[in-house]
Structure 1
Amino acid sequence: MTTPNEFWKLLQESGLLPSEQLSDLHNKYQATASAETSDADGDVNSVAKWLVKQQAITVYQSRILLKGRKGPFQFGHYQVQNRMSAGPLKGWFQARHHNTGHPVFLHFLAGDECQQPSFFGSIIQHVKVFAALRDPHIWRVYDLVNETSYRYVVLQDETIRTPKIQSLTQRMAATARLAEVDACSIAWQVAQALQQLQQRGIAYGHLTPNSIWLDENDHVKLLPFFDQIHRPLNLPADEENQDLILAADYMAPELQKHDANLNITTDIYSLGAILYFMLTGMQPFPGGSIADKMTLHANEPIADLSAFGVSIPIIQLINYMMAKQTGTRYQSAAEVADKLATVLPAKTPTPSLLSELSQSSLAFEAAITAESTILDAAPLPSRKIQPTNPIVAATPIPQIQVTLDNTNDEYLTSEVNASNASNSNTAPPTFESANTSIGPLGTKTTARMRRQAKSPWMNPMLWTGLAAALIGMGALAIILNSWSADTTAKNQSTTTSPQNDGDNNTNTNTGTPPNNGPGENENTEPPKTGDSQFIADDGKALWQSPTSGDAVNLAWSPPAGQLFIAIQVEEFLKSSVKDDILISLGPAFQKHLSTWETTTGFRLQDVKQMILSWRDEDGVAFPTAAIVVHLKDAATKLQILEKLGDPPAEKTEHGTLYQANTWSYLVPENGELFVMGTKSAMLDTLEVEGKPPLIRRALTQLIKQSDRDRHLTILFAPSFLSTTLFRDGHEFYFGKPSKIRDPLQWLLGDELDAAMVSLHFDSIFYIEARMTAGLTVDKRELVTQLDERMGELYDKVEAHMVALNPSPYWRALAFRFPAMIAFLHEQTRIQIEDKTPVLNIALPIQATSNLIIASELSLASEPGTGSVAVNNKPMLPQTIEEVLQYPFSVDIPQQDLNLAIADIANEVRSSLTGLPFKFEINIAGNDLQLEGITRNQAIRDFTMKNKSLAEVLTGIVMKANPDPTVTSPSMPNQKLVWLITTDPNDPGNKTILITTRKAAETNKYTLPSIFVE
């Protein structure tokens, strides 16, 4: 048996704890043991239990050490925490990433077939496809580690984020069968996931109820088992394979043939059999050997489902899904999803990837870009990239062709054809360079770390506006100072394009690079075509715009605005990269978006368009914001006001405004939109009757050239940014405003009166900038200087990254960026169009999220620190009582009680991601109302730093208490209290409740001691 001294020695050799921490724990334990017994070393089991209680080691780690083994616990960049001992995940290991503390599963590939090169090669391809997917219905896959002595896949540990998640097998074991709508909802979500795989040319394989995982709301996660045998059956040898025995209950009959292949139709058959299982509680052909089951699948019809109350359309659907002949089945998962949707509610909720965000997950994904051993990045561009010199077509503007390389020399082409390009025989500009390689379409690295900083501007949509502005301007200007893009994505082997019809057809680029040899474009005069004059910028023509809409309408924005951001929310949410962009903005964005939704009662999905604007106001140090919200669905004025919480009306000389504690609102009589901002801004808007505002002449010139079909349009006066918005003394989450102001001034110079940047996320990432300057400014000289400055970006970015000394988990990403800046410059086109300097850039679509990721990481870093502020503590509070002792800081200049509580709850969830329980703070509105207290009771000038959550909540309720003379929370006049009680919606969970002292007494709640005399 292991002795206490041997246990401590094994713990030291295991590498689980740093030497200094281990020494402190040993001394602390000896002091504790000697105080309780005469034996300072104590009993070995007592030592283990004490270390577990101290959260120094886990129960699993203690069991291994007690057996006299020192592990192994360390595998590459991961430390094993636990081993799953039962269920579909039996044998999988729960682990933590060393640098970030992010929880993952390690799925070791130990079977004999996994050691065969051909089988392991197929595993690699499947992992690459799954790792590139970012779908809410598919379990997140990160990496495949291939070492000499072990191989394992790294996956998200969903059991930490969603403790109640369970497989469909486990769900069905607790019920006889599912209701039709519930079963079809689950099948619909699985079909959505299978469609994602089909688009990328792979089949799931042997789909079973163990593959389908459900949270408490029946949201699906499709879990891949990469050691699953992706081949036809080999009978009778496979009769001993337990996985195949289970799979045979749902397996397509043709898979017993030696030449059969797994494909989408075999997946559809399996899904049909699983739907049958959910509706009846029985497999279609239960019992017997694999051979017996396959014979029945091939020859026997399924039982009549009408006896189970299944509707005729669903019976017909299952019959087609489980047809014996493959040609009779549905040929795509999308068809199946469409059929299932007919029996589902009109608006079936889809889980958002934003709900899965955490600080550690974003840091972890940044680390993966540097650490991945299988998903290696494509070769980097060389420092000195020679610009591609396309042949300039007179008219029309040429099409865009994007050529994407990977290490297997396979190509994917995404084309945006000009509407009149058919009349041109001229070769188009192409994304080609001998030294440039962009990862395959669909490979996305979405990670972001944000250093928290309080600011008077950090209300939800103002933050969103800043983020949008930084993205847009970063694409052109701010990019050299921490707005970095790493479009060298993870390299994966993908054989189908986004337009793949399921037949593995791949469109390859057949164009040839333009001839840049001697004699090309010898005419030194700028060529002219129609009213357009091409600038001598190495002969580059403007990229074709992907949109051609009318100008953006600024109606209902307050007058005198100097920064405008128009967001086409409805169309953006249809973009294929919407989830990547929203995820890249990180948990802080989710928190502030959630606060905005709580404030207004509207969801982002309810919005068609938002127009944000900023202006100076007398007596206000920071520029004030206003938001015009155009709704997607028709709504009356009364319906909008009801959503806004029925704020009190205030009659003015020019109309009615509605005043809440934080915002003032305008709602036109015809509904359809509402405006929110300061009272002064709303009064000015009423005065001009909501007409387009009076703004600078230079801004007016540019907004007339805007395109409202673009997803994001940013119109601004550069002087406003440098002298007002980003002036010293203002605080931003990224630190000093000079981080943005100085590089912006360097790049744009002093000549510009106004600029407009627009972004569009379609088959390409399109960026366009238009500028105006004084009448005396030579526009040719202006764009020439701008182009030259962009050419200098490489050296400046390289110097900045060296000075930054990035943290190890994103260092590789950071040092790839300078080379990508060269590629960005190569893709830049500059031209004077109708006397307006125009600059546009076209990039592969996967560059979008990478731009935001690297930008946020570097903005949050300080030169020389080598790190980004992040909470990497792997040990979390295990109870709500422990959370209440966790330190927090709050700074509330003015906010409603309900919004402040919502912000605090969101802050807890984002700071303590992975809590083993659902954390909620609720307000008992009816209890408060009985005491004459409203949920939107105003809280002003409330600040606490590094205080426990319990102290913060106590301070909040005292600040919101209607009697301001109260000096102690235990005084009877302190009507507002907080307490811990059972969650009425989840009896197994505890929640924090904001209520009144009288209600607590009535309901026999136990008050915290701070409220008791």
Structure 2
Amino acid sequence: MFVTIITMAIELNEFWSRLVQAGVLDARRCKLLTQQYQEASGGNSPSQADEIARFLVKKKVITPFQSDAFLAPQPVELRLGPYLIRDPKTAAPFGRFAQAVRTTDGAIGILLRAGIENPWLEKHAAIDAPNLQPLAADIIGDYQAVFSAIGEGKVLSRRLSDQAWSTQSVVSLGIKLASALSVMHDADIVHGAVRADRVWIRDDGEAILLREPSGPALAMSQASLANDWLETIDDPSLYIAPELLLSPGNDSGKSSANSGNTDQSIPTRSSDLYSLGCLLFRLASGRYPVVGRTTEQTLGLHATEIPIELSTAIEQGEKGAPLYRVLAYAMAKSPEARFADASQLATALKAVGTEVGRNKRSEVPATAAQATSRSPEATASKEKRKEKKQASTKSGNVEPENPQPTVPPQPMMRSRRKRKSRAPWVLGGLAGVVVLQIIALSLMDPTQPVVRRRAEFVPPAVIPRVSNRAVRESVVSDATKPKQASSSTIESDEYQLVQDQRLLYAPPSQTAANPITLDLLPPGPAMVVSVRLADLQKSTFGQSMLDAFSPDLQSIIDSMVKRMGVSADTVSRATAAFYSGRGSDPIEVAVSVTLEQPQPMQSLLKVWDVSAARTREGQTIYVGDEPNSDAYYLPLDQAKEKLIDRFAVGSIDSISELASIDGEPIPLPRSLKSLWDATDQDTDVCVLVSSNFLFADGRSLLQQSMPQAIDPLRRLLVSHTSAFLLVADSPTQSSDTQQVYSEIRFSALGGITGASLARLVGDRIEQWPEWADQFSAAARPDKSWQPLARRLPAMVKFVANRIRVGVDDRTAVANVYLPAIAVPQISLGTVLAMNTPVGGIADADKVDGELLTVDQILDRPMSVSFGQESLEFAIDAIKDSLGQQLPSGNKVPTIQIIGGDLQLMGITQNQQIRDFAKQDLPLRQVLTDLVVAANPDKSATGPADEKQSLIWVVTGASDDRQILVTTRQAAQTKEYALPPEFQP
């Protein structure tokens, strides 16, 4: 992929520029690293590019290869779409891959360029599960960039020795691999090569089952097929099931145990279990179950030889070693005698782990059988065992009478705290209340899954028009049997709606999409809300929405209008872009405004009370006298004509950034652009949101509007989507028969197809009625909306029965037409439900006791428990649990991860924390235990150890105290006061 790079001295500024252009650093981090270099070199500034390059390599900001590339006399292209090459060379089995990092989230992994015609890749990428290799594919030019975020580590085969693992370690790994296999098998994918060189052990200890998505699984083919993406390190014959032949390309043609049908060479789910059993046996005993002098002999031994540990465990029954009893069934010679599926094997291994932990039963010593015994005594003993089990032995296969392993029943596992049933709807920024009914299209996540399907929706006798075109009403005599329309009865320019629940509704506009322009906005928004403000203000539907949400919605519009300096009925369209805030503000907003009619420039400047100013780049913007006042940008051509119908308003920094690109349309990341291209200039409301932003900087939007929706929304959106688009289009005329069109589109995360995401959305929608019934039975709504709450289940069922889900241009889509007269009540009921905890009344003003300070909250006992979460979501879990345990009227303090500080130390927010359970401990102790568990250097002896890089601190004045998760090095640089826990 790359040629040899010859380096030589380049200018220091050029070196920094290349880092910024490649996306490795931004200007702020360049300055910070320069300061760190000066501190490390006694105050001296870097004079040569290679000096700072060596420093960045030492800090692990860049790799040695990247250093050579950035220092080369001619720039070397390291970017492939959203990926940045870290090194073109990767250790086996990834010799065909390059080391890379995904710039959108900082994930480290491997990258391969492949052809675009590979149905197996799409099939593999459609499934994702813990401990299963993640796969993401992006079309870049004429090829697919296949990226796998496996992190840094080594394959298991590079970590093996003759020393046996502990039983608990083998069981833990076996459960993870069996669970990953179960997900593949459920998707009708056979692995075909479960062995040590297909298990990746990350540096943090997590295990990942690697897979081969280049084609179908073939037994014994990994060592010979040149098209395989993964290289072979381990000998496949050491793991192959006895029922499988050698691959057709092998000279022997067949194994000594099987002959005839060549279809037997194709791996199966059962053969995967056998291979996994061989791998676990290798770890538990320190040796392979069978080893021959040649490949053919090894395959023959698989069919005839039984390791003594397995046969002894079966003979001893319940007294036998539980792990080997389980492996005996996984490695049974006959496929019919093995476990029925991988999930059954995982369950048996869990029982083994529990039994060993409870009884503290020691393992079978590795010295008891260093190899399959060849001594005369052992041979005679083996023959006696074979004769004793002759009735249950077929062709040398040991098949116990009971095909299930004799292991204790599955114990009661520690369960998580049951979450109260919540309907995950979300308020989308300034225009959220207008589109609440469409957010409900895919996001239901009740505590208990609902398995019964909803009743089939019966279409009405008259099919209403859903297009702005002048088409005839289609009348159907029998609602359940629509007449077939012939070509002679339909004119060429008309449309006929098909009453098929599998098809999406046609949107109101049948013309080609004319996306809303994104000019006059600063670059880099994480959320965009665009509203046809004047039309909504004037329409009957808009007024009904204002009445329903009065006075909150009107106050939002009033504050927006005050900032724009023009009345709402003069604004044709307002497009607000949301950004990660600077300083103490979590969100920053800039607005692009299009007026119905041009207005004189001088009158606008007078209303805004601003005057012309110059940016550092020399562009003209208009600002007020106050330091924190808004700034305005006018298009250059309109400023010359002194007649304005478009302008932008925002902070001075954001408007200066907008002026630097002359107000040109901004680019969007691919996941956002593909969604925004589906918008239309005539659509009333469009809300584009990056999923991560909604639960990071934009979390306050949810907390202020729909707090009960945060957890279930996060589980769906963050796990499956990168972004989503909400669209709402209201009728132009007032009528009882007019309908509101609503649509939501999801951009799936890498490794998830639009079809699989659409199925997930459809499944969630089918569970809505059950949630509504649970809410009605368990919630205690305030008296002010109890009549509406009683009607909520019927309204939810009404909406759920009319939603259609499908795939459009590989994007998961759900849309619906709802009567305009019903939308305000449905939306209001949604918002009120999302502010009503199940079992109680939400009242933010009610105070049971005194308001607590941050320091008092840190000393307050709390409880939290979860099985496995990333550092980011673990913080969220702590905040959620804390919020439920604080006295009414107290808010959870800000607990924020400073990602930039962590990144400088090579720490990601995806650090995994497992089996975290804290009962009645002060919050400060909970946070301390969390950062200790997530610390990358496991040799740290405690929070006070200098090796404990990850820490938490409290910053801010008494009325603005917040808790930051940062690093010890950053705290020293920024002069944060260390809590006592972290002081040496």
RCO higher in structure (CA 8 A, sep ≥6): 1
Q: TM-score, normalised by structure 1?
A: 0.40
Q: TM-score, normalised by structure 2?
A: 0.42
